[in-house]
A and B are shown apart, each in its own frame.
Chain A
Amino acid sequence: MGVKEPGNVLTVGIDLGTSRSAISTSAGDRVVVDSFVGWPADLVARKVLKRDLLVGKEALENRTMLDLRRPLERGLIKEGSEKDVEAVRELVGHLLSIVKKGKEPMPVRAVLGVPAAALRTNKQFLRDALKGLFDKLIIVSEPFAVAYGLDALLHSLIIDIGAGTTDFCVMKGRYPTDEDQRTLTVAGDSIDAHLQQLIGDRWPDADFTVFMVRDWKEKWSFVGDAPKDPILVTVPVRGVPTQIDITTEMKTACESLVPPIVETMFALLAEVEPEFQERVRRSITVAGGGGLIRHLGPKLQCSLEKVGGGVVKVVEDPTFVGSDGCLSIARDAPEADWDKLGR
């Protein structure tokens, strides 16, 4: 929009997600970390790890020795405990420290995108938790940030499939209200849970963790027609590495996401004013990690045939679409607005 950014300020957009959090900066940096924060569980763990805190992949890899937290379980800061507040702060602080590394100290302005459910209930809580990390902070809902970044602000529907929640937001050329948004807790985590259960049911002696299941999902998730080659993974079965075919289970778990998404999509479309419904149907965008599920876009698009057809696009870069959208907001916000937000 042509707002001039001051040169001595670092402007950042952050997508605070249940599973991964990403940051994009005005200096061109883009970083993503797993949204896990862990503190050594005891003195022995602290001695082994030689650290007081681990964040992201490192925390996941050392999880057995940690009090591991995922700050935004189900898209919400749920427990309201000191540790959870600390976890959010440490996670965001970690992202910030990476992009600030090697740069001169300078004020930081941030736009933080959070799951719609967190924005509804934890906005003040988040603001308190992050106090002092930024000089100026705007918090927005993640689907709004995505819509803003994609210029899809009018007569469009954003479906942001994250780990903890699937957020829907109909953009009507206004800042989204309650009526424009829906949140489902059927999302990436529920696929993991379902897949884990299905594999466990079929191979009760197989030994695997949810983290392994998550990796498999990220590599091979699909809906609709199965891939030509079966999905084969190797797991210990009674201690013996064994190859198992999880193609059917993967399909069942991933497809469990489709009916609730379609139902919610129809419900939201039905609430759009009749003359605009077709335009919204033709401008549906799937963002978030769920966009990486093969054939999900076409599957959702097929479902629209019942109501007159539509177009579903999947964003090309789901990892950074949220943080890039936040960065766009941060860059476009006029100086006067930043000034109002104070310190």
Chain B
Amino acid sequence: MVRTNRLKKRLLREAVEDNLATMNGALPKPLRRGRRFIGRWGSMTTLALLALALVVSLRVAPANGNTAAAQSTTVSHDRDAAPEPEQVSFAPPKRLSVAALDLGIHRIVIDAGHGGASLGTSAATGLREKDVTLDIAARLGRRLAAQGVTVQMTRDADATLSLQDRSTIANDARGDLFLSIHVNSLPPHNRGIETYFLGPSQAPSADAIAAEENRDSGYSMADLRTLVDMIYTDARKDESRRFAASVQQSLLRELRRVNPSLEDRGVKTAPFVVLAATRMPAILAEVSCLSNLEEAALLGEPQYRQSIADALFNGIDAYVHQGAPKRHKETAKNGS
């Protein structure tokens, strides 16, 4: 009994520490023993520095007024009064290669969702998400490589990878685009495909809380989210959205030929950590639905998986080529 009580006490302390870590800005991931939260998040270091620096800039915003006003004041301060660059210890978020996206995209990171101990969802037939995503990723990789694109796979075997491993691979490879492939599991009678990109927090309460905490306690996870959202008002958010839309359209167009009842579940935003931690335009595509028996049966066929890979390839291709003219115009206008 004494031993149980001692054990409970220790576990309670660990649970509370875990919660405190979240409140104090650790990324939402369970504690691993013997390691520190933030220290492990190597790939987020740059963003964290950006966030910290922006917290400092937020502090100069008026203390009264609502969050939106405070934020817009800060933005306006940044733009109009041109903050002295020497006081800001970071470079602004790097815009994508604006010279021409069709020339600028050389390296594409393909992330086969799950793997190893992480099985993902499973079909009643026993087909597992981790195997399906790996197969589709390999097929897509081969198609891209055949076009002279450098392909970086986050995994090319049945291996366990954490989300930060995946984003670190993508960032270290200096990928120009990041595509994470997943397969959905949906409530009965639902099926279809959906594509996600990282978007701003859409909870006004969270924005207000973030601004309050910026003033009172400095850097926290809530700050980081809000600030990252602000960062994403730069090129990456628009590019990720456009990339997601292009892939979603292509998947729908191509797969409806063989699967006419496929549902369009749309392009959505979500706080996927793997999308937050990558530095290039990044999307997560739910390319099919294993909980639907018909789609699970189709996914069991190599030809259908090839169709998905082809559709993803065409989506990437369309994104790259749609982007070029617009970028050329911008470049010309900017005189750069």
Contact = CB atoms under 8 A, between A and B. Distances in A.
* Genuine A/B complex: yes
Contact of A79 (B118, B162, B186, B270): B270
A139 B19 contact: yes
A178 interface: yes
Interface string B58-87: 000000000000000000000000000000
A333 to B, nearest CB: 5
B218 to A, nearest CB: 15
Contacts of A131: 205-206, 209
Nearest to A264: B119
Given A184-B119, A185-B120, A197-B293, A80 B270 contact: yes
B206 A341 contact: no
B222 A340 contact: no
Contacts of B187: 70, 73, 189, 192-193, 210
Nearest to A163: B187
Given A80-B271, A144-B15, A341-B23, A196 B120 contact: no
Given A120-B30, A341-B16, A128 B185 contact: no
Interface stretch (B5-13, B103-111, B239-247): B5-13
Given A185-B291, A196-B189, A197-B292, 11 more contacts: A79-B269, A80-B270, A85-B206, A125-B28, A148-B11, A153-B11, A189-B188, A190-B291, A192-B188, A334-B12, A337-B13
Nearest to B221: A124
A144 B33 CA distance: 16
A72 interface: no
Interface in A250-268: 253, 256, 259-260, 264, 267
B292 A1 contact: no
B112 to A, nearest CB: 17
B203 A121 contact: no
A341 B12 contact: no
A120 B126 CA distance: 25
B124 A194 contact: yes
A140 interface: yes
30 contacts: A1-B9, A2-B5, A80-B202, A85-B203, A121-B272, A122-B271, A123-B22, A128-B203, A129-B206, A139-B19, A148-B8, A174-B10, A174-B11, A175-B11, A182-B118, A182-B119, A184-B119, A184-B121, A185-B121, A189-B188, A189-B291, A193-B187, A193-B189, A196-B189, A197-B293, A264-B119, A267-B117, A332-B8, A340-B16, A341-B16
Contacts of A129: 203, 205-206
Contact of A177 (B10, B31, B206): B31
Given A122-B271, A125-B271, A337-B13, A182 B30 contact: no
Per DSSP, chain A at the interface is helix
The contact size tier of chain B is 35 or more
B261 interface: no
Nearest to A210: B188
Interface residues of A, number: 68
Interface of A: 1-2, 70, 73-74, 78-82, 85, 119-125, 127-129, 131-132, 137-141, 144, 148, 151, 153-154, 173-179, 181-182, 184-186, 189-190, 192-194, 196-197, 210, 213, 253, 256, 259-260, 264, 267, 329, 332-334, 337, 340-342
B268 interface: yes
B167 interface: no
B236 interface: no
Contacts of B273: 121
Nearest to A267: B117
Nearest to A81: B202
Contacts of B27: 124
A254 B288 CA distance: 23
Contact of A186 (B22, B122, B202): B122
A176 B30 contact: yes
B199 interface: yes
